[in-house]
Structures are given as structure tokens and as C-alpha cells.
Amino acid sequence: MLALIGSLDWVAILVAIGVGQVVSTVWFVVLFGEPWARAYGAADKKQHAKEIPPYTYAVQVLCTAFMAFTLALFFRLLGVRNLEEALLVVAFVALGFCVATGLPGYAFLKRWKAAGIALGCQVVMLVAMGVVLAVM
């Protein structure tokens, strides 16, 4: 297993992490900042940003890094050879893991708008990271 991990393209993984962070930032700050804040009961994104503990951003980076690493590992284990195969794996990962595990939590909280925004970001991040990993 260590040989498999050592054989991964770590430059591609680092680029995928960067791309994932850009997607997440644009998604939650530029595109859906206001709706996201309101979905959590804040008046606006400025108020919501004040309520977020600083460590949350470090958790986000670590989770993005783990997503990129795991996706690269899946690609290697499944023998993904091109963009089409990468996007197929991403579709299964997005639906089978992100949506399937994220949606119930939002359903119990009755936060449907937050679910759409958060899970949409996860799917777009996976697609973007998958493209990076497939073409590098």
C-alpha cells in the first residue's frame, strides 16, 4: 500500500487541492455567500463570517486535501486512464458518498437550501479536482 501511495502524482494532488480551495471560496463567497448565510439564519454573509470559528478554515483545507488524495488513490486503484473515465468515477463518488452521506444530515436539520449549496459545491469540487488529476 505504501508503494501505491508513493506512486501517486503528488504535484497533481497539490494542484487539485488548490483548485478545490478556489472552487470552494468562489462558491461560498462570490456565488452563494448570501443564500448560504441566510440558510444558517444569519442576516447576511458578513454576519455569518463573524460567527465562523477561525479553525473552520483549516478544517476545510484538510478536508479538501483528503478529498484530492482519496480521489487520486481511487483513480490509481481503478486504473483511470482518461478524462471520460475520471468523470465517471467522480459521478459515482459524488452521488455515492457526498450526496448519500451529506443529504440525510441536512434533511434532519430541515436545511434544504443549505444542502443544495453545500452538496453542489462538493460535486463541483470533485469534478474540478477529477479533471486536474486526469489531465496532469
pLDDT tens for residues 69-108?
Answer: 999 999 999 999 999 999 999 999 999 998 898 999 888 8
Spacing of C-alpha 81 from chain mean position:
22
Q: How many CB atoms lie within 10 A of CB 16?
A: 27
Helix (H) or strand (E) holding 135: helix 112-135
State residue 26's pLDDT score. Answer: 96
Residue 132 · residue 19 · CB < 8 Å: yes
pLDDT at 135 over 90: yes
Give residue limits of the domains in the chain: 7-135
Nearest-angstrom CA–CA distance, 28 and 34: 8
pLDDT tens for residues 17-36?
Answer: 999 999 999 999 999 999 98
- Tell me the whole-structure pTM to 2 decimals: 0.90
State residue 52's pLDDT score. Answer: 86
Q: Helices (DSSP H) in 10-111: which residue ranges?
A: 10-25, 33-39, 45-51, 55-78, 83-93, 100-109
pLDDT at 49 over 80: yes
pLDDT band (50, 70, 90) for residue 45: confident
Nearest-angstrom CA–CA distance, 112 and 21: 23
Residue 58 grid cell: 483549516
Calculate what percentage of the chain has a pLDDT beyond 70: 100
